[in-house]
Structure 1
Amino acid sequence: MSKRAVLEVIALDVEDAVAAQAGGADRLELVTDMAADGLTPSAGTVRAIRGAVDISLRVMLRLADGFAAGDVDRLVGVAGEMRGAGAEEFVLGFLDAGGGVDLDAVERVVGALDGCRWTFHRAIDRAADRDALRKQLDGLPGLDTYLTAGAAEGVDAGLPTLLCEARRRGEPGYEQQLLVGGGLRLDHVPVLLDAGVDGFHIGGAARPEGWDGAVSAEAVARWRGVLGG
């Protein structure tokens, strides 16, 4: 491999963040309420985590379960609040009722980020047309990553799609890093690395006791070892 693969770990609080960094994580995704698949954390949590670790943080911008944007004015306000709390990187993604990208909502929120880097998250796995979504988002400022399992059901179902998209890296709409997550297991890693995938995202896999337990530095270190670096 030409460069070390990125390992991103979901963190809910300072304890998670410190353990993830100790285990070798490169970046954290900050969320709250995993019962709703991850919503925007409080500004206080973001501030505390930013003060506790020195690795990159990406903060979720999502106010309710599902992939509709909801109150875009409120989202824009929350984005500003998170920036005020020290956030410099973000995670977002909104679909319309037909499964197309809600371009107006995405553009308005991205406008509030003022050039900050961001990930379009697993809303892509629910999109009616993944390729069309990527083409529509192409060129938006700051978009450097797609978090995806390749399918709504997870990596087991989405692996062929992931391998196909990895091969297209560099084409219009495919310049961004592929960050694979969603039912990702260690046994998926070798074939993904062979395909050139260099981004991996884990949540439950970093928590031996499940979502009620904290991130384990040892579990993160095991992933870091398999990914190299």
Structure 2
Amino acid sequence: MSSFVTTQNQKLMWDIICTNPLVNTYFSVQRSTTKEEWFRSIIERFYTQNKDIQLTNTQLHDLNKTVIRFMIQSIYQMNGNNAQGQSSPTNKDGQFIQTPPIVENNREQIYKSEFERKKEEYDSMVRKEVPKPIQFQESSEDTPITDMDALIKQHMDDRKKSIESLQPQLTPQLNPQQHSAQEEMDKKIDNLTNIIETLQQEVVLLKTQMKQFSQSQTNDNKELSYSSLSIIPEENTIINTNKEELAE
């Protein structure tokens, strides 16, 4: 029953009852009690009667309509109008009060929607777009090449155009005089190249001959040393023989 006496619910009923011209007319001339006191007393009365009841939103909506009808009926009674036996002044002199439906958790829903919207904006700002995975696998649909000759011809034409576009940079156009001088220079370069190659071959040949000559000299020196060693003992023998003869 606490939902019945909330500030929001009481304000809702107060705003509705204040739009009723009968209520406003009565309290504009009635000075014995104020509209606020009259309103508070009726709220307290209904709260006391139903304080132990847990109201759903639908039950609260129905109770609000009952209270408002009771308020209008009490004004009729205080004005001396015979309204006894009527549960409500429905459709009497156009005084039927239609209370607006109570939206369930209206403020909470607004806050929740606003929070979700802000959260979505923030997520979109910090969200990193994941790149699509690279497909390294070849396509399963490998269609055969229908016209190989045309494909080769197109490739050769593209290659030729590419070479022709680079040709002016690689081989600049020469006039006849420059072309003749270029040929003469090429001949001289070829001759010098041949001479250098011939000299290199001769140098290699000379090195080979020198190596062979050096090896031959080494072998001759060895033979000479061997012969000298063999002669020395003979000379010693002759000297010793002469010494013996002189001694005799």
Higher helix share: 2
Using CA pairs below 8 Å that are at least 6 residues apart, which structure has the higher relative contact order? 1
TM-score between both structures, scaled by the size of structure 2: 0.16
TM-score between both structures, scaled by the size of structure 1: 0.17
Higher strand share: 1
